Amino acid sequence: MQTMSLLTGGGLVPLNLITYDIVLSTVFGGITAAGTMILAQRDEAKNPTMQEIVERMEPPSLGEGNAATFRTAERSHSAER
């Protein structure tokens, strides 16, 4: 409000005239910021990031258990000749 008053040539507005506007702007700005944070947290809970998905898929301890067994390659009869 002060900037617009200065740009239009009206000079500075006395602070006692805009105190109520400052309070209202602060309250509504805080409510808007809180609402935005709540919406972002809800969206993150519904749509996890790729890292969170990978962490859910990995077993808790990778070093324990039996090692995976792999089949040996089988040769065809024509390769044996």
Mean pLDDT by 10 residues, the chain (81 residues): 86 88 95 94 77 70 57 60 58
Widest distance between CA atoms in the chain: 102
Per-residue model confidence (pLDDT) at position 50:
73
Per-residue model confidence (pLDDT) at position 74:
62
Per-residue model confidence (pLDDT) at position 68:
57
CA pair distance 41, 66, nearest whole angstrom: 40
Per-residue model confidence (pLDDT) at position 35:
95
| Cα separations in angstroms, 41 against 5, 34, 46, 81 | 39, 11, 9, 66
